[in-house]
Amino acid sequence: MTSHTSLTPASRWLGYAGLLPQIICLGLTVTQSEYAFTAIAGGFAYAAAIFSFLGGVWWGQAIQSGRAGAGAYLVAVMPSLLAVALFLPWSIGWEWPGPALLYLGALIALSPTVDRALGFAAPDFMRLRWHLSLGLGGLTIALGIASMNLMRGQFAV
């Protein structure tokens, strides 16, 4: 007896491979590489892009379900808007960049709760979503902590 799965092995492997850019950014920051500040900015950009992508996933699931109300579409546009809002303090020279990474990481880590609330995702997709979201969210939070330590000159993760 085989169980039905909506995910291919490639989708799983590529999903987990999607954690590699954040791992590299964190590594470059923790080792205080000459590219540490570029890695911090790149890590934020990557996390923000993935968070925005999740909104697109929710939008697509809402359309495919044929039963979504306006609330599902409103929720789907929020990740992009929140990512831009978290970038604004950097662009005007306020606190840079740790707090934005902490918030973004927490939002990513908690994003599967939105999938659960919307109710459109298959169970095996939800398992993968939790793994990837906790992974990327945790790595993004770690990058935020590392960046704050680097900025203070007290590096210890």
Short-list 100, 109, 112, 103, CA closest to 136 = 109
Instruction: Assess contact for 152 and 142: CB atoms under 8 A.
Output: no
Is the pLDDT confidence value at 4 over 70?
Answer: no
How many angstroms separate the CA atoms of 141 and 106, rounded?
Answer: 7
Confidence of residue 105 (pLDDT cuts 50, 70, 90): very high
Query: Which pLDDT score is estimated for 17?
Result: 97
The DSSP secondary structure of 53-77, one letter per residue, reads: HHHHHHHHHHHHHS---HHHHHHHH
How many angstroms separate the CA atoms of 83 and 121, rounded?
Answer: 23
Encode pLDDT of 125-156 as tens digits: 999 999 999 999 999 999 999 999 988 875 54
Report the chain's mean pLDDT, rounded to a whole number.
92
Bond from prior residue into 97 cis (ω within 30 degrees of 0) = yes
Encode pLDDT of 63-104 as tens digits: 999 888 999 999 999 999 999 999 998 888 776 788 999 999
Phi and psi at residue 15, in whole multiples of 5°?
-60, -50
Instruction: Identify the residue whose tokens are 């490639």.
Output: 10
Distant-in-sequence, close-in-space partners of 3: CB < 8 Å, separation ≥ 6: none
